[in-house]
Structure formats: C-alpha cells, structure tokens
Amino acid sequence: MNIAVICGGLSSERDVSITTGTCSARALREKGHNVVLVDLYYGYEGEYNTPEDLFKTEQKDVEYSVKEETPDIAKIMAEGDGTRIGKNVIEICKAADICFLALHGEDGEDGKIQATLDMHGIKYTGSGYLGSAIAMNKEVSKNIFKSCNIPTPPGIILEAGAESYDDVGFPCVVKPCSGGSSVGTSIVRSRDEYDSALKDAFKFESRVVVEKYIKGKEFTVGVIDRKAMPVIEIIPKNGWYDYKNKYQADMTDEICPAQISPELTERLQSIAVRVQDALMLDVYYRADFLMDETDGEVYCLEANTLPGLTPTSLVPRMARVNGYSFPDFCEKIIEVSMEKYNK
C-alpha cells in the first residue's frame, strides 16, 4: 500500500507526534509498504513530478525521540506563514491509499484534520471528526460520562479572566480542557499552589478542568476493533505520571498485564468499551483510569483517540502481550480503519 504518515503539527505534543510518526513509518516500511512521512505544519518541500512518484522513491528512516521539555510552539509558528497545514500535505494524502495519523493534541486529535480529510475524500486511521472532537474536550466528554453512568472524578470548569476562581477542595488536579500528555497539568495541595497551577494551565487554553484528586492506582486500557486490550498498571518511580515520566525511558514501571484480579480486569475493560460507544469512537483508542485506594471505586479520566506509538508508549506494549509486533500492530490499525471505509 501507499501510506502517508502525518505527524508534527502545532500542538504542545509535537515532539511526541514526530516520534510516533517516525516509529510508525519505519514499522510500515518493514512490512513492505511504500511510506511518505510528512509534517502537518511544515509540509513537504522536496521536489517531485507527481505525488505518486514520492511513494516509489526510497525514503530514509529517521530517528527521533521526545525531549524532556515541550517544544516552543510560538517560536515554530513565528517561522511560518500562518497556515496550519503545510505545503503539499493534502496533495500527498490524496495520492495515498490511506493516511496514517500519527498526530497528538490540537489539530490532530480534536477532529480538525479528520474533517479536512473527509472533505477531500481521503481515508485515514482512527476515529472520525465527531468522536475525536468530543473525546478531546474534557468538559464535553465528562458530561457524557455522567449521562452514561461512567464514573469520572467530580469537578468544575473554569474560564480565564475571572476575578476569582472556585475550587473543589484540596488536593485537586488542574488541567487544560483539551490538552494531552499531562502538559499544563498540576496536582495541587493548597490555595497558593492552586493559583499558580491555574496560571500555568491557562497558558495553554482559556478553559480549565479542576477535578477532585483521586489517590490510588493508575490503569490504562486500549481498545481496537471493539475488543479491549490487556490492562496496564502505571507506577511512576518518582512523582506522578507527568510529561517527563511518560516519555523518558526508565522513569515509570508499566506492568502489563496488570497484576490485578480477573474481576477488576473485566471491570476496567468493560468500562473502556462503554466509553468507546459513549464518545462515538471507532478503530482504536485508549482510556485512562484511577482506582481510589480507600474504597476501590474506579474512575475514568479521559479517552485518547490517537494514543502514542513511541518506544515508551502504552498501547504497543498491550499489543505485544496480545501477540502483535509493533509493525504488525501498525498494520492492524490500517486494516481496521480500511474495514470502516469498506462497510
């Protein structure tokens, strides 16, 4: 197949996306596919006669890894012309059999690129524009969780510019309404910390989620083709599961499958499938959970519609337990995505 892998973009998760993209492109080439890797923002500047020619050209594999700090998006935007989709991106995607979305965060998981590709009749991996937009917005998704009796931590939504802000008591969690990879997220234990955390979160977005802090074990469950994958327990070696602990090697222990009871495993997997239906997701995604250490209650935090496919990412680890190599799993994502279009 001719496959365009799209990564990069302008979200705070840009580095994660490029790593997902380079890893996925290399894996798909190993499976014999013709792959062109394109940055959504910068586009493709090389010369070619027709976009189809690019898929016949030998492409070099690129090594990339997530840095400890998030990229300076304002600086990257200042180098551009104000266009968020780079040169030749749509043209190359049109020439592909399918577009493999290796994007994370804004423009990638919020439904914008999905809607754009739909308008051009371009096939792509992952959920459609509506489910992506719903899942990306934590305010909307939490409201849906509540209406569908899916347990989620109690919380409030705050908007930038107020003279003062309510709280939910301490400790609590403050995070941007539509962010990912824990960027701009803080665990807050006092009013002074709260004001600082809100200031940090509002740098990324004008609406912020404030939730009750749930102390306990953290789990995550992937779903592909409506089948729940093995549960992973996440145990950071220091602190909590923030951006650094997510993407720097040897910072977190990830137990897969989690050493928990069959009953808890079934419960987490069942909720994960219910979340897929509630948020109108398809193909594959990942749900994140916390289990309260005091009463054993399970809470769904959010859904990730394009989960990371980096060397430290969680879904590829689940896939290995299910017998899929990383290249096999990338092909599985394409297979399930194509089935959606063939129905």
For residues 343 and 329, the model is more confident at 329
- The verdict on whether omega for the bond into residue 257 sits within 30 degrees of 0, i.e. cis, is yes
Pairing of strands 34-39, 186-188: unpaired
| Entry field: residues in the chain | 343
Domain ranges of the chain: 2-124, 156-212, 216-342
Q: How confident is the model over 258-265, as a mean pLDDT?
A: 97
At 245, the pLDDT band (50, 70, 90 cuts) reads very low
Taking only Cα atoms into account, the Rg of the chain, rounded to an integer number of angstroms, comes to: 20
- The verdict on whether omega for the bond into residue 153 sits within 30 degrees of 0, i.e. cis, is no
**Which amino acid is present at 244?**
K
Range of lowest pLDDT (47-51, 80-84, 137-141, 153-157): 80-84
| pLDDT confidence of residue 133 | 96
- With beta carbons less than 8 A apart as the criterion, state whether 17 and 103 touch: yes
At 239, the pLDDT band (50, 70, 90 cuts) reads low
> CA geometry: angle at 279 spanning 275 and 283, to 5°?
80
- With beta carbons less than 8 A apart as the criterion, state whether 229 and 215 touch: no
At 244, the pLDDT band (50, 70, 90 cuts) reads low
pLDDT digits (tens, 9 = 90+) for 31-90: 999 999 999 999 998 889 999 999 998 777 777 878 878 888 888 888 877 789 999 999
Q: Which two tokens stand for residue 319?
A: 């896939």
**pLDDT averaged over every residue in the chain:** 91
Q: Rounded distance, CA 280 to CA 289, Å?
A: 19
What CATH architecture is 216-342? 2-Layer Sandwich (3.30)
> CA geometry: angle at 57 spanning 51 and 58, to 5°?
145
Query: Which CATH number is associated with domain 156-212?
Result: 3.30.1490.20
Q: Specify the pTM.
A: 0.90
| pLDDT confidence of residue 247 | 54
pLDDT digits (tens, 9 = 90+) for 189-225: 998 899 899 998 998 889 999 999 999 999 999 999 9
Q: Which two tokens stand for residue 64?
A: 């990339």
DSSP per residue, 134-170: HHH-HHHHHHHHHHTT-----EEEEETT-SS-----S
Domain 2-124 - what CATH class? alpha beta
